């Protein structure tokens, strides 16, 4: 099974990855960071789609060994479900972290993010929040042509409460870093133990 923890910059993904890499989730799980394969200069849509397919196949290999993968990175749910090999996974579950624009901007400034990049991070943060609860929200943001044969039809007509849209949303505004990690850990355990009851379906 592939579990994805995603969200815009500043929502706490990196901190959670560091902590959860040391946690026993009760199942054999490998925690990985999306960008750990290296991001080339000028990375475009085709590169991103190819990188998503890379991690899907990584999870398929782990699945064949009886293991699971917990992937951290800015991976929109719609792109993950549309990856060419995603239908070979036993299950996909996605957790989107979100914080308000005010909190996100403060966190990005505190960590030294360039001022001219803030608007892009904030726009993505708002878009992925809406995308998490409604797959039909501005799909053109990610439904772009690339060299990778993405299967957009898997979700283009799904509603937010459809079990084939296995997305959970965590608002992190009022949560400490420790609390965010605990919420993700609880979500991951529920998915790994509950399986179908946790809303996991093949795309």
**Is the whole model's pTM more than 0.85, yes or no?**
yes
Cβ(1)–Cβ(166) below 8 Å: no
In a domain, 203, yes or no: no
Strands 29-33 and 167-171 come out as unpaired
Number of domains in the chain: 1
In a domain, 39, yes or no: yes
For residue 26, the domain's CATH number is 3.40.50.300
In a domain, 127, yes or no: yes
Domain range for 115: 2-198
Q: What is the pLDDT along the chain (203 residues), one digit of tens a residue?
A: 999 999 999 999 999 999 999 999 989 999 999 999 999 998 999 999 999 999 999 999 999 999 999 999 999 999 999 999 999 999 999 999 999 999 999 999 999 999 999 999 999 999 999 999 999 899 999 999 999 999 999 998 887 678 789 999 999 999 999 999 999 999 999 999 875 433 334 43
Beta bridge partners of 94: 4, 167
In a domain, 33, yes or no: yes
Cβ(85)–Cβ(56) below 8 Å: yes
Return left, alpha or beta for 38; rule: phi > 0 is left, psi -120 to 50 is alpha, else beta. left
In a domain, 106, yes or no: yes
Residues 6+ apart with CB under 8 A from 91: 1, 2, 166, 191, 195, 200, 201, 202
């Amino acid at each position: 099974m592939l579990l994805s923890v995603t969200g815009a910059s500043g929502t706490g993904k990196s901190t959670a990855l560091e902590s959860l890499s040391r946690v026993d989730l009760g199942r054999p799980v490998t925690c990985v960071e999306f960008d750990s394969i290296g991001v080339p200069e000028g990375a475009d849509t085709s590169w991103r789609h190819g990188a998503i397919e890379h991690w899907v196949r990584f999870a398929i290999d782990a699945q064949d060994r009886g293991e699971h993968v917990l992937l951290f990175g800015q991976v929109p749910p719609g792109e993950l479900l549309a990856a060419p090999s995603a239908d070979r996974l036993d299950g996909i579950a996605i957790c989107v972290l979100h914080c308000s624009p005010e909190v996100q901007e403060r966190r990005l400034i505190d960590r030294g993010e360039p001022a001219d990049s803030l608007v892009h991070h904030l726009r993505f943060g708002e878009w992925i929040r809406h995308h998490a609860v409604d797959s039909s929200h501005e799909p053109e943001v990610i439904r772009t042509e690339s060299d990778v044969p993405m299967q957009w039809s898997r979700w283009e007509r799904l509603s937010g409460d459809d079990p084939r849209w296995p997305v959970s949303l965590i608002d992190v505004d009022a949560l400490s870093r420790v609390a965010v990690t605990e919420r993700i850990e609880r979500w991951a355990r529920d998915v790994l133990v509950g399986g179908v009851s946790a809303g996991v379906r093949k795309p």
